[in-house]
Amino acid sequence: MQEVADLSELRTGSLTIGSSRTRTACFLIDPLVAFHRQYPGIQLAIKEAPVRTLEEYVASGTVDFALLYGSSLRPDFTSVALCREHTMLAVPKAHSLARAHAEDKAPGFPRISFAAMSGEPFIRLQPTRQMAEVYEKLCESSGAKPQVIFEANSIIEASELCAAGLGATLVTDMLVQSWRWKEQAFFFELEEEVEDRQLLAVCSKQRFIDFLRAD
């Protein structure tokens, strides 16, 4: 965000960012605070929405840019790479799998196959969320048939329910490292191959030009 401000030389005005609740909480909080301290004359706003809605916001100019993944960018969008998100598995700390690995001394997180989730209470994301597609692919590749007991609207919601003991869920390393946990779950690396997701700051080319020309 500092690079954008330096380019546009904005001292007053507004900046609207499209994001999800998870990316706002885990990625934007500290940069927003730092940005405001350096550019106090710029009014900041965040519009939170699912990925498909955020793409519409970018195309229409409703937001100056949005945090999106690089899997299906439209040709009229331009982007800046920010970071890569790695998929992990979370289970309640009282879960038998967590207890079995609690004393592991090896560095990093223990590894486990998603097949271990067969028959286990599981919190998946609603079909409109990209993590729901990751879940389906993991079920297919591992043969796992979890017992879905709840469909969450966000990874944060699913993670909080997991930490409270409701069931296992999929998370990202960004959430593991950056979320301000009330109570933490137990985390595993997955043995299955799951492609990392590239997080991008995305805007339409014309909107980007307009932003750079703003007074």
CA distance 5 to 51: 25
Higher pLDDT, 118 or 32: 118
CB 17 within 8 A of CB 45: yes
Q: How confident is the model over 70-117, as pLDDT tens digits?
A: 755 677 788 888 888 999 999 999 999 999 998 877 788 999 999 999
Q: How confident is the model over 60-83, as pLDDT tens digits?
A: 989 989 988 875 567 778 888 888
Q: Which residue shows structure tokens 């560095």?
A: 107
Residue 181 makes CB contacts below 8 A (sequence gap 6+) with 163
pTM, whole model, 2 decimals?
A: 0.78
Say what the pLDDT of residue 107 is.
80
Checking if the pLDDT of 207 tops 70, the result is no
Q: pLDDT category, 38, cuts 50, 70, 90?
A: confident
Q: pLDDT category, 118, cuts 50, 70, 90?
A: very high
Secondary structure string (H, E, C) spanning the chain: CHHHHHHHCCCCEEEEEEECHHHHHHHHHHHHHHHHHHCCCEEEEEEECCHHHHHHHHHHCCCCEEEEECCCCCCCEEEEEEEEECEEEEECCCCHHHHHHCCCCCCCCCEECHHHHCCCEEEEECCCCHHHHHHHHHHHHHCCCCEEEEEECCHHHHHHHHHCCCCEEEEEHHHHHHCCCCCCCEEEEECCCCCCEEEEEEEEHHHHHHHHCCC
**165: closest CA among 94, 100, 117, 215?**
94
Neighbours of 58 (CB within 10 A): 26
Q: pLDDT category, 193, cuts 50, 70, 90?
A: very high
Checking if the pLDDT of 4 tops 50, the result is no
